[in-house]
């Protein structure tokens, strides 16, 4: 089975610019997660979707971050405007109904200059 696809793999932007990341989960995986991993730290959950509804976005900085999963399949995460501290790897993961295990994508590495 195909894995979780993410793009772009790398992005370099200036502060105050905007950026968008895309994730296509494994087919049939109803739950989708976006994590932020700052260098030297463990991943932190930004937002969790169940189909096209938000389950948890308590740690999403909503003044600059937004995410959507309109058709319950692929998802986009947007940052506008970006700050230096947003430099991180953004990981997408998905999980099929009833499963205990999440499958992670390779991540999108963002550098904000």
Partner 1 sequence: KQEVTQIPAALSVPEGENLVLNCSFTDSAIYNLQWFRQDPGKGLTSLLLIQSSQREQTSGRLNASLDKSSGRSTLYIAASQPGDSATYLCALIQGAQKLVFGQGTRLTINP
- Please report, as ranges, the residues that interact with partner 1 according to CB under 8 A: 4, 31, 33, 40-45, 48, 55-56, 91, 93, 95, 100-107, 109
Closer residue to partner 1, CB minimum distance, 17 or 31: 31
Closer residue to partner 1, CB minimum distance, 1 or 42: 42
Closer residue to partner 1, CB minimum distance, 81 or 109: 109
Which residue has tokens 């205990």? Answer: 100
In whole angstroms, the minimum distance from the beta carbon of 105 to partner 1 comes to: 5
In whole angstroms, the minimum distance from the beta carbon of 101 to partner 1 comes to: 5
């Amino acid at each position: 089975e195909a894995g979780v696809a993410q793009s772009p793999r790398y992005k370099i932007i200036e502060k105050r610019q905007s950026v968008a990341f895309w994730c296509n989960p494994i087919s049939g995986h109803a739950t989708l997660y976006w994590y932020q991993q700052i260098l030297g730290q463990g991943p932190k959950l930004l937002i969790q979707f169940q189909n096209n509804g938000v389950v948890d976005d308590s740690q999403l900085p909503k003044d600059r971050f937004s995410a959507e999963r309109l058709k319950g399949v692929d998802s986009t995460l947007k940052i506008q405007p970006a700050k230096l501290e947003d430099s991180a790897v953004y990981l997408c993961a998905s999980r099929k109904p009833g499963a205990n295990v999440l499958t992670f994508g390779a991540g999108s590495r963002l550098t904000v200059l």
